Amino acid sequence: MAGRKLFSYWRSQATYRVRIALALKGLGAEIATLDLIKGDQFDADYRALNPEAAVPTLIEGEGPPLVQSLAILEYLEETYPEPPLLPKEARARAHVRALGQVVAMDAHPLVVPRVRHYLMHELGLGEPVVKKWMRHWLDLGTGTLEAMLARDPRTGRFCVGDAPTLADLCLVPHVTTARMLYDADVSAYPTVARIYEACMALPEFAGTGPVHQPDAPLTA
Ligand SMILES: N[C@@H](CCC(=O)N[C@@H](CS)C(=O)NCC(=O)O)C(=O)O
């Protein structure tokens, strides 16, 4: 393996998912930062790696770039199976993926910079309205997670059982984003809040968070 490089942005929740997976699996990576607010993601060189102009992009060795955080997580799981981040049983695996997708496919896409930019600059919505928009979709995602986790006997110390799974790798960045954007109070979602705390007790989650990134502003 000729090396590993992760294109990242400190506040990106999709990249945070991948940083946690790399840490849990004990895989080092050079972090290459892009400033998504300045528009670094639209540079031609970066678009050649990731035509969607989004992070994360993972480069491993000489192989083609890996894009889309959930696809990257599955790739890491298949390539470096220890510790496992998916349960053995098929239905439990589906549950893990479903929890992750509530965040990564249904909530997160509505709050990414390109959507916020479109709402503000194409549709002319002011910042307070856009903030309300973001809060609405993120809270809806948190409420869905809470409803799914609270009633499910498979919920343990973590989302599914007593070891972290891909679901936790989605839950933590989701909650972190909501807290950063509008100081979200997750106490209204007690199962989500408890699992978030359990994850954040682990250095692989806490130490890879936004504020520990090389491009994080000093005041973050
Ligand atoms: N579904 C993609 C989402 C990627 C994505 O949109 N990432 C955001 C940061 S979290 C981004 O790079 N946005 C750039 C933009 O919206 O211009 C994934 O999970 O990797």
For residue range 74-118, list pLDDT tens digits in order.
999 999 999 999 999 999 999 999 999 999 999 999 999 999 999
Residue 24: alpha-carbon gap to chain centroid: 14
Ligand 1, atom nearest to 14 Cα: 10
Q: Which atom of ligand 1 is nearest to the CA of 55?
A: 12
Distance between Cα 68 and ligand 1 center (Å): 8
pLDDT digits (tens, 9 = 90+) for 182-200: 889 999 999 999 999 999 9
The CATH number given to 4-83 is: 3.40.30.10
Give the orientation angle of helix 69-79 with respect to helix 13-24, to 10 degrees. Answer: 10
CA of 153 to the centre of ligand 1 (A): 33
Give dist(CA 122, CA 51) in Å, integer. 22
> How many Cβ atoms are within 10 Å of 130's Cβ, its own excluded?
18
Instruction: Please name every residue paired with 66 in a beta bridge, in sequence order, or none if there are none.
Output: 58
- The CATH number of 90-206, from 1.20.1050.10, 3.40.630.30, 3.40.50.10860, 1.20.20.10, is 1.20.1050.10
This model's pTM is above 0.95? yes
pLDDT tens for each residue of 138-157: 999 999 999 999 999 999 99
pLDDT of residue 219: 63
Residues with CB under 6 A from ligand 1: 9, 12-14, 36, 41, 53-56, 68-70, 104, 112-114
* Atom number, ligand 1, closest to the C-alpha of residue 67: 20
In the chain, where does the domain assigned CATH 1.20.1050.10 lie? 90-206
